Amino acid sequence: MTKLKILVIEGTARPKRRSIHAAKLIEKIGKDIEGIEITLVCPEDFNLPFDGNDDENKDPKYTKLTADADAFFIVTPEYNHGYPGTLKRLLDSELKNYIHKPVAFAGVSDGLWGGVRAIEGLVDCVREMGMVATFTDVQFPRIQDLFDEKGNLLDEKYIKRIERTYTELIWMAKALKHGRENFESKYHEPK
């Protein structure tokens, strides 16, 4: 059986970001789940010069990753009650590769809300892109207190929360993959 491919997308390229610790933890937990293949995506690894979905603004490496992906797990810090422009730029570049694919969210903040406002903003955005949002999110409030300087998790309860989110994301990935492969839409022909 072919493994499901899930991209864990780190939402910022900010040099002092703490959200990378959450993204790497989500990547690590995902790699221990049988039947899925995890790839961590960081925006600084791609050349996306301008806004939009025009061909000249795409990075072929990211295009291939999103085309092959069955699902996405977005890790977004919350900046000023929203998500980073870096994440929006990454998402906007590949509209057709997101259609009928599920997405889960992890929100990160140094305050008490754990990125919920960034996630709320992203739900409308990804819906417009044709993605299907799961109803399970993970919040990392006060991120500075959840990981040590080396990125080691200090609160084990997050492992179960991430596993629960993966369970729903995987279920949706299987259902939507079956749909993409077996039912026609104006966006896909069945394989």
Q: State CA 146 to chain mean position distance.
A: 20
Mention every residue, 6+ apart, whose C-beta is less than 8 A from residue 115: 76, 77, 78, 106, 107, 108, 109, 139, 140, 141
In the prediction, which pLDDT does 53 show?
Answer: 79
Q: What share of the chain is helix, strand, coil (3-state, %, to 5)?
A: 40, 20, 35
In this prediction the pTM is 0.95
Provide the residue-wise pLDDT of the chain in tens; the chain has 191 residues: 689 999 999 999 888 899 999 999 999 999 999 999 999 999 999 988 777 777 878 899 999 999 999 999 999 999 888 999 899 999 999 989 999 999 999 999 998 888 999 999 999 999 999 999 999 999 999 999 999 989 999 999 999 999 999 999 999 999 999 999 999 888 776 66
Q: State CA 53 to chain mean position distance.
A: 19
Task: Give domain limits for the chain.
Answer: 4-182
C-beta atoms surrounding 35 within 10 Å: 10
Sheet with 36-41, side-by-side order of all strands: 36-41, 4-10, 71-77, 102-108, 132-140
Domain 4-182: which CATH number of 1.10.40.30, 3.40.640.10, 3.30.450.40, 3.40.50.360: 3.40.50.360
